[in-house]
A and B are shown apart, each in its own frame.
Chain A
Amino acid sequence: QVHLQESGPGLVRPSETLSLTCSVSGGSLRTGSFYWTWVRQAPGKAPEWIGYTYYGGSTHNNPFLKNRLTISVDMSKNEFYLRLSPVTAADTAVYYCARGVEPAKLTAAHWGQGTLVTVSS
């Protein structure tokens, strides 16, 4: 069973950079054409898709975040990453990483527990 775990700072200052890591176990980023996705959820709001990395390390970002967002992957570490800069209070949310249910299906079947990121001075 694939397991995902987010890690990163819980507090980020406005205008600075948010960096998160999703560590994957029980499955490999190298194999299968899975979508590995970042989703965030502001308090009391619906989930918001941030972007994904796909087979071979290609990525696709939410157009509304595009200029601030970088998603990358290190297959040797079986990790993928989110970098958002600069951040504002509107980026305060629980950040999740997830994997699709089947190869080539953009879904989120396996989720990390989520990590709360607060943007505040």
Chain B
Amino acid sequence: QSVLTQPPSVSAAPGQKVTISCSGSSSNIGNDFVSWYQQLPGTAPKLLIYDNDQRPSGIPDRFSGSKSGTSATLGITGLQTGDEATYYCATWDSTIDSGLWVFGGGTKLTVL
């Protein structure tokens, strides 16, 4: 059970927009940057967004990130079948001991 809560699944049609939420607390999202990862089956996760809203080089601007308070959101516009994957948020959590980096439980995106 992760301290970061994501919906288990979302779906949308090709060309549409989808948002994926990541809900936390003042001990994690409310106090640090959020990053987002895309994982295709059988492959390593891929960094899509870091520092809440920054895209690494090579990530198209169809992907966007935002944060407000203790929640973060990943947005994907112009959905493509290749976007079908599981998406994870991550941030630092300072609830226990010296802290740890935590991932959300993941959201499986289906492009109908």
Name A's B-contacting residues (CB within 8 A): 37, 39, 46-49, 52, 60, 62-64, 66, 96, 98, 101, 105-109, 111-114
Contact = CB atoms under 8 A, between A and B. Distances in A.
Interface size class of B (residues with CB under 8 A): 20 to 34
Given A63-B100, A108-B47, A47 B88 contact: yes
A109 B88 CA distance: 14
Contact of A46 (B98, B99, B105): B105
Interface of A: prevailing SS: loop
A64 to B, nearest CB: 7
B73 interface: no
28 contacts: A46-B88, A46-B104, A46-B105, A46-B106, A47-B45, A47-B90, A48-B103, A49-B100, A49-B101, A49-B103, A60-B98, A63-B96, A63-B97, A66-B97, A96-B44, A96-B45, A101-B50, A105-B50, A105-B51, A106-B92, A108-B35, A108-B37, A108-B47, A109-B47, A109-B50, A111-B45, A112-B44, A113-B44
Q: Which 8 A-B pairs have the closest CB atoms?
A: A111-B44, A63-B97, A49-B101, A109-B47, A107-B50, A47-B103, A46-B103, A46-B106
Interface of B: 2, 35, 37, 44-47, 50-51, 56, 88, 90, 92, 96-106
